[in-house]
Amino acid sequence: MSEQYWNASASASASASASSSSSLNSSSHDTEDDHTIAAILAEEERLRYDGKLGKRLSHLDSIPHTPRVIGDIPDANDATLDHERLAERLATYKLAELQIEGDGNCQFRALADQLLQHQDYHQYVRKHVVKQLKSHRNLYEGYVPMKYKSYVKKMKRLGEWGDHVTLQAAADRFEAKICLVTSFRDTCYIEILPRDKSPSRELWLSFWSEIHYNSLYQTGEVPTRRHRKKHWLF
């Protein structure tokens, strides 16, 4: 697992270039895809109100969340220790990971799995996060240590790693509480809440610090995902 995701750091730029011709640029596909996504979200809301969702942890203490860009990538030894720490925490809280592809899109893939029941919808999630960043510049610009337009342009590219600024934008856009179980030494759990709104859903992710995100479920409840046909992809 560690080798696959560690190599993702070196290949992120290549992945972004190879993916630049994706159907994000097709307005007709966007319209059809948005209708499909709307139907999935409506079904997810129906299930939530039926009481079949929400089997999540509620007793963990969270620290205040401050959006930030990606920090330093740990060296190989620290990364191994971080991963072992995360695995121990997940076992303690009876959580299990649905493994997310390590292609530079892992944050958006993990969010897509939680929101839409499949990581292949990651381009839809990225598109709406970028819209949120563009539309509400005043909310996020202060956390970005570079020209904001360049940052937004960078985040639009497939294969570009998401950070805690994009997590905040996702929480705001989808009105979701994002629950992050981390490998940080001093921080086990972070809640990212939408600004000025009550969350309508919870999204649970694991964060192998600065390296990889996976989608979280209770142990024994990790779903089996079939790869979708190409015409379903965004």
Q: Catalytic residue numbers?
A: 103, 106, 212
> In the structure encoding, which two tokens stand for residue 85, read together?
């720490």
Q: CA 139 to CA 158: how far, in whole Å?
A: 23
Which residue blocks in the chain are alpha helix, DSSP H?
2-18, 27-49, 76-92, 106-116, 122-135, 137-140, 148-156, 164-174
Residues 6+ apart with CB under 8 A from 224: none
Torsion angle in degrees (nearest 10) through CA of 168, 174, 176, 181:
-50
Whether residue 208 contacts residue 81, with contact meaning beta carbons closer than 8 Å, is answered with no
8 A C-beta contact, residue 67 and residue 140:
yes
